[in-house]
Structure 1
Amino acid sequence: MKNSIFDRLFNSIIFRIGSMMFLISAISILSMFSSVFISEMADQDALIINHAGSLRKQSYKILANIELLPQISSSSLVKQQQKTKQAIIEFGEKVNAPMMEGNSGALDQMPLKETLDGIRQTWVTKLKPELDLLVEQPQQLTEDKLISINNIIENFVLRLDSLVGLYQQRAENRILLIRMILGISLMVTIFLVVFTMHQISRRIEKPLSELTSSARKIMSGDYTAKTNIQQNDELGLLAETMNKMSIALSQSYGQLENRVAQKTKKLRQTNDTLELLYQTSQLINEPGDSLNLQPITEKLAQITEKKDLDLCLTANNSNQPYEHIITLNKDLPGKCQVGDCEGCLSNNNGVSTSNNQMVMRYPIIKDNINYGVLVCNLDAETPLEAWQHQLFTSITTLIANGLHIRQQNEQSRRITLLNERNVIARELHDSLAQALSYLKFQVSRLQKLRKKSASEEQIEDVVVELKTGLDSAYMQLRELLTTFRLKIDVSGLQQTFLETIQQLNERANGLMEFTLDYQIQNLPLTPNEEIHLMQIAREATQNALKHSKATIVTLSVFADEEKNIHMEITDNGIGIGDDPEKLNHYGLAIIQERSQHLAGDIAIRNLATGGTLVELIFQPAFIKSAATVA
């Protein structure tokens, strides 16, 4: 066991350093415990000194109270006697307090105990009885008696001073002992630290420097670096291990370079693949009618290292391509020259092999609609790798999605255009067409009157009717042009409402006041919702301007707790009749149709206080989408 400890001491750095640290820690802990023990003994020394010192003040206080007894009136004598007795009692309690004895087993206790016992004995047997007698019989306080009691108290205070000095000496002895213990501990600790640092420098720092130098050489690529450390400890083992490691690294470095090159190639392929997919996605989502896939096809051939690619794009389920993109300068096969594309398009998901040539076909299909095919021509001996096959599939899927989205957008634009044309046709029919029919009727009437040689008054009435009809038609034309030119620019729906209100106030010439209360600034609406909402508001406010005879018209747009949109147009006019359709049938028809496009509810009614209310309530698209997701 003893030999084992010595072996570890001389052959283990950790054990040596640990032993030194243990000794330093043990000495530090021992000195701290000793200091704590002595400090605990002196815990109440300051309090005891303060307590003993206060006895001197209390002695003089009692003497002063006694000297006042013969000098005060009889009415205050009893009170002064009680005060003096209370001071004597408090003095006795302080002299006999347990803290005056100090800690049990304290240093220099015997002289202090003898002095304390002498003071207590003097107080009990001599001083206290004398003081009690003088308090009870103040008439005995003659001048000689006062001088005598004064001398007794001064001698007593001198003994108290001696007691305080003993308490102070005891505290100073304890502090001196703490200093001596800490000084010895400091000297021993310094010696151990110096010895430990010498061992660290000789057995650790120098070997570590050599190991660090060797490690840096290895890190810079010099795998022949070795160390010459001859120690039977951990650093010696580490040096031997590092020498073996450098040999192993030299052997495996070549293998690692090959693996890194392979990984780098794969990462480059992955990065190029992601970049191509991103570019393809960006290209097919760009606005415009034309779609140039030539750069995408060429980059696809470059990344996959398959130079011979053919991309054929066809119309919906057509058997003839409208665009044929090739990546290799070659003569087209005979079937391509004569336009025989049925084989590729009908068998566009297959693989064919002939004359050591393999043909891979990737369909461009979305929702059973064939948009073409991507053909890859390669050697039969070098088939496609998995990542190449996946890239071809992803590219064709993106192209199919892009072409499908473009087709859907085009179809949506066509439907929107047809709907707007229907609206224009209906509004023209309900306004200008009827006005022109009325004018045509008046012209026929004028012709008949002229044939009958009617009077000038009759002809003048028809001319007035014609002029009134022309003015009405011209006004309706201006309103239709304003409606057709309606647009909502980047400033938003609220600004468009403000401009509309401003135009209405200008047209009213001060006879009517139009106001706006817009509270849906934070709610997102689709462009169609904004257009329909604006058209309904325009038709309702124009009807109010023409027919309501009101002075105030308020347009309010707000949302309820469920975020349904409310639009209210109120006025203080004459209201509407029992059959509002007769007032402005094409305007109300437009309002009804717009509200149906919004899937909302429209209500037109008279208010109890007078005037008309046009109220629209609909649920915006973003609420419907959230409900669908939930």
Structure 2
Amino acid sequence: MARSTWRHIEQSLVTRLGGAIAAIAVLAVLGMSVSGMVALSTQGSSEAINLAGSLRMQSWRMASLYLALANGDAERGRAALREAITDFDITLMSRPIVEMLPGPGEVDLVASYHRVRSDWRQRIRPHFVAAATADAARPGPAQVAAMQAEVGAFVADINHLVKQMERATESKILVLQMVLGVALVVTVLVVLLTIHLIHTGLVKPLHELLGFATRVGQGDLSVRTEYIGEDELGRLGQAFNLMAEDLSKLYQDLESRVAQKTAELTRSNRSLELLYHSIARLHGAPPGRETYMAVLRDIEMVLGLGHGIVCLGEPGGSSGRAIASSMVSGDASPCDKADCALCHNTRTPRVSIMDDGRQLLTLPLSDTEHQYGVLIIDLPEGAHPEAWQVQLLEALSRHIGVAIGAEQRVEQSRRLALLEERAVIARELHDSLAQSLAYMKIQVSLLQAALKDPQQHGAAEQLLAELRTGLSGAYRQLRELLSTFRLKMEGGDLHSVLAHTVAEFARRGGIEIELDTSRLDCPLSPNGEIHVLHVIREALSNVLNHAHASRAAVGLQCRPDGRLEVVIEDDGIGIRKTADVHHYGMTIMEERARTLQGEIRYEERPGGGTRVVLDFPLNGQRQSVVPIKIANL
């Protein structure tokens, strides 16, 4: 574990870069330290050289003072000479000069200094001191010449000392230059090595990894980086390769899942298409054999199953009847049997095996109230219907069952409507034309009796006139009944039908009739529309025939309490007799109001005239299917 950790540390790019930076820092610190040490060692060298150089001037000054003593200026010369000797001693033993003396390695500089000091103390200084004493004799020319020669040699030694001091200082500066040069060269080499390391170990791998990431971002998951070393970027490259491989696998998995979901969505779309078109066929018009055949062909094409049969048979019955089949001619149909068990004993979807080995998928055809039969699908050999296919077939079988139930209820409603209309026709014939014919039959009997007696000739003429009037009335009633019975509803809404009816009666009677349907904003059943239309026609007929009115109005409104109110009013003479004897049509209107579970009222209109009010609940209408447009046949 420790060896592996140490190996990672050795291979670490951070460690290498840190080592290079540390080396640069060490070289910089070393150079600065050596420079400081050399600078510190040369500190005071210039002062020491200046002081050593001043010894030459002081030596020649003392020589000039010595010459002055020889020339006779004794008092001033001796004092100045003593002062010059003291200054020379102080300068020669000054701290800068003593501190500049190197260690044992610089023998020449030490030897020069000791020679100058020795010459000063042993040869030069004693002569100057002796000449500076108060009682000393004045030096002669020979002594002056000898002293000048010795001072010249002494100054030469001082010059040699100064040169040694300058050479020592220059050697220190040279060492500083060499150290700084070596530090600079080594620093430059380390910097170049660091730049190379950064380029090869950091910049180049980063560019490669960046290009790799860019290609991966563009969707190329097959790319792999070749930089997989032991350092951090190498491990990052390995991680990138693993990531790209995982992304490639994940992308392939996603592609397969997308393809699977696309197939499922395509299948769902085709299933919804099949369901939509089947529902449109089944509920768009009264279904028949062609409609069921189209649904069976769509099932066979979309689901890929076998042929199908729509078989009707009441539960508990003994036989079935195929109303549509897509089976090829010659195939045995399970509905051909007298005891069609599949048609009567299927309550849930199931797969049955026939005697000939065929597999049949059977689904009940039912609505919320009854079961009408089954939908039988002939499965191909070895085929097993999937769950979604069974669910779709269940939905289709339910819609087929609803369509069959709706068709049967429509047929039943048509029969009920036909019976109701026949009853209304019978009542209207009985109350109008039958009574008139009975009355004329009595009048004919009376006419026969009057014709046998010549004395009743006047009565016979009166009876004949009454017969003529009765025949005219019966003929008019017959034409009204025929016009009413020929009404046929075919298409348009109740508003247009009422407008056509009002225009017809206004044209026939030559009066103004106003129609207001602005508040008719609730739905009526076809049966309710028929009864409302007949009541309005009968009321307008009474207005034309009995009211002697100049204006009439028809209004319909849907009240908030869920009832429809129909008002027909006129400005005529009003009701003169009771409903029992006034006119047969009033009884018919009352019958229609009772059929609608409502009531009809005959009221006097304020200002004169009659007001007929039909009031019935909208939810109490009997449902029947009758087309909605008036056409006089």
TM-score, structure 1 as length reference? 0.57
Residue 268 and residue 426 in structure 1: after superposition, are their counterparts in 2 closer, same or farther (change >3 A)? same
Give me the whole-angstrom Cα distance separating, in 1, the residues matched to 2:352 and 2:464. 84
The Cα shift of 1:621 comes to 4.2
| SS across alignment from 2:519 | coil
Structure 1 position 514, deviation (Å): 3.8
1:285 aligns to what SS in structure 2?
helix
| Aligned CA distance change for structure 1 residues 517 and 399 (closer, same or farther; 3 Å) | closer
Match of 2:284 in 1: 286
- Tell me the CA shift for residue 506 of structure 1: 3.7
Cα 1:318–1:471 change in 2 (3 A) is farther
Rounded Cα–Cα distance in structure 2 between residues aligned with 1:369 and 1:361: 17
Question: Structure 1: which 5+ runs fail to align?
Answer: 1-5, 12-201, 626-630
1:419 corresponds in structure 2 to 420
Q: Secondary structure at the match of 1:392?
A: helix
User: Counterpart of 2:594?
Assistant: 596
Corresponding position of 1:297: 296
Alignment of 1:551-590 (within 5 A): 551-560=550-559, 562=561, 564-577=563-576, 579-584=578-583, 586-590=584-588
1:320 — aligned with what? 320
Instruction: Mark the structure with the bigger radius of gyration.
Output: 2
For the structure 1 residues 245 and 624, does the alpha-carbon distance in structure 2 shift closer, same or farther, using more than 3 Å as the test?
farther
User: Which residue in 2 is equivalent to 1:534?
Assistant: 533
Say which SS state the counterpart of residue 280 (structure 2) adopts.
helix
TM-superposed deviation, 1:367: 5.6
Matching of residue 340 in structure 1 with residue 338 in structure 2: yes
CA distance in 2, matches of 1:425, 1:404: 31
Q: Kindly state the Cα deviation for residue 624 of structure 1 after the two structures are TM-superposed.
A: 13
Question: Which deviations, in whole Å up to 9, do the C-alpha atoms of 1:27-84 show, x marking residues without a partner?
Answer: xxxxxxxxxxxxxxxxxxxxxxxxxxxxxxxxxxxxxxxxxxxxxxxxxxxxxxxxxx
Secondary structure at the counterpart of residue 616 of structure 1? strand
Q: 1:319 is paired with a residue of what secondary structure?
A: coil
Matching residue within 224, 230, 233 for 1:226: 224
Change (3 A) 1:231 1:435: farther
1:465 is aligned to 2:466? yes
Percent identity over the alignment is 33
C-alpha change, 1:370 and 1:623, in structure 2 (3 Å) is closer
Instruction: Check the 8 A contact 2:305/2:380 in 1, yes or no.
Output: no
Cα shift at 1:495? 4.3
Alignment length, in residue pairs? Answer: 424
Match of 2:265 in 1: 267
The corresponding residue for 1:97 is: none
Gap change, CA 1:318 and 1:399, over 3 Å in 2:
farther
What's 1:118 paired with?
none
- The answer as to whether partners of 1:557 and 1:565 remain within 8 angstroms in 2 is yes
Query: What is the rounded CA distance, in whole Å, between the counterparts of 1:386 and 1:544 in structure 2?
Result: 68
Instruction: Go from structure 1 to structure 2 and tell me whether the alpha carbon gap of 1:326 and 1:430 turns closer, same or farther (over 3 Å shift).
Output: same
Q: Write out per-residue CA displacement over residues 591-621 of structure 1, whole angstroms, 9 at most, x where no aligned residue.
A: 2122223333322133565433322333334
Aligned to 1:248: 246
The code of the aligned residue for 2:438 comes to S
Q: Is the 8 A contact 1:313 1:323 kept in 2?
A: yes
Superposed displacement of residue 403, structure 1: 0.6
Secondary structure, aligned partner of 1:403? helix
Which of the numbers 271, 274, 277 marks the counterpart of 2:275? 277
Give the Cα separation in 2 of the matches to 1:368 and 1:504.
45
Change (3 A) 1:341 1:255: farther
- 1:605 and 2:603 matched: yes
Residues 1:502 and 1:308: Cα distance change in structure 2 (over 3 Å)? closer
Residue 345 (structure 1) shift: 2.6
* Separation (CA, whole Å) in 1 of partners of 2:482 and 2:522: 30
1:343: Cα distance to partner?
Answer: 3.0
In 2 relative to 1, CA 413–309 (structure 1 residues): closer, same or farther, beyond 3 Å? Answer: closer
Superposed displacement of residue 435, structure 1: 2.0
Separation (CA, whole Å) in 1 of partners of 2:494 and 2:356:
67
Q: Distance in 2 between matches of 1:436 and 1:234?
A: 119
Contact preservation (8 Å) 1:207, 1:235? no
Which letter does structure 2 place at the counterpart of 1:407? Q
**1:398 and 2:399 matched:** yes
Task: Give, in whole Å, the separation in 2 of the partners of 1:472 and 1:234.
Answer: 117
Partner of 1:475: 476
Which position in structure 2 is the counterpart of 1:184?
none
Conserved? CA contact 2:318–2:340, under 8 Å? no
Confirm or deny: 8 A CA contact 2:314 2:343 kept in the other structure.
no
Q: Map 1:364-513 to 2 at 5 A.
A: 364-366=365-367, 369-378=370-379, 383-452=384-453, 457-486=458-487, 492-509=493-510, 513=512
Hey, what's the Cα distance between the residues in 1 that align with 2:595 and 2:232?
85
1:339-395 per-position Cα deviation (integer Å, ceiling 9, x unaligned): 334333344355544787644432324467443323345579654332233233222
Cα distance in structure 2, aligned partners of 1:303 and 1:502: 54
Q: Post-superposition shift, 1:326?
A: 4.2
Q: Deviations over 1:393-432 (max 9, x none)?
A: 2222221111111111111111111111211121122112
Change (3 A) 1:553 1:380: closer
Matches of 1:623 and 1:450, distance apart in 2: 55
On the 8 A contact 2:579/2:587 being kept in 1, the answer is no
CA deviation string 1:309-339 (max 9, x = no partner): 4443347856131436244566427x766x3
CA distance in 1, matches of 2:507, 2:338: 69
The structure-2 alpha-carbon separation of the partners of 1:326 and 1:434, relative to structure 1 and needing over 3 Å to count, comes to same
Residues 182-261 of structure 1: pairs in structure 2 closer than 5 A: 210-211=211-212, 213-215=214-216, 219=219, 222-227=220-225, 241-251=239-249, 258-261=256-259
Q: Distance in 1 between matches of 2:268 and 2:401?
A: 22
Q: Secondary structure at the match of 1:544?
A: helix
Quote the Cα distance in structure 1 between the aligned partners of 2:515 and 2:309: 61
CA–CA distance in 1 between the matches of 2:329 and 2:358?
A: 17
> In structure 2, do the counterparts of structure 1 residues 238 and 301 end up closer, same or farther at CA, with 3 Å as the change threshold?
farther
Secondary structure at 1:599 match in 2: coil
Listed one character per residue, the Cα deviations across residues 142-177 of structure 1 (whole Å, up to 9, x for unaligned) are xxxxxxxxxxxxxxxxxxxxxxxxxxxxxxxxxxxx
Distance 2:242 2:377 in 1: 52
Conserved in 2, the CA contact under 8 Å of 1:311 and 1:326?
Answer: no
Counterpart code for 2:471: L
CA distance in 2, matches of 1:418, 1:204: 96
SS at match of 2:374: strand
Q: Give the drift of 1:590.
A: 1.8
**Highest RCO, 1 vs 2 (Cα 8 Å, sep ≥ 6):** 2
In 2 relative to 1, CA 624–263 (structure 1 residues): closer, same or farther, beyond 3 Å?
same
Letter in 2 for 1:400: G
Alpha-carbon distance between aligned partners in 2 of 1:599 and 1:379, rounded to the nearest angstrom: 56
The change in CA–CA distance for 1:251 and 1:276 in structure 2 (over 3 A counts) is: same
Contact preservation (8 Å) 1:297, 1:327:
no
Q: Spell out the pairing of 1:518-533 with structure 2 (5 A cutoff).
A: 518-533=517-532
SS in 1 for 2:602: strand
Aligned counterpart, 1:362: 363
Residue 579 of structure 1: how far off its partner (Å): 2.5
SS in 1 for 2:284: coil
Contact 1:298 1:327 in 2 (8 A): no
- Which SS does the other structure have where 1:404 is aligned? helix
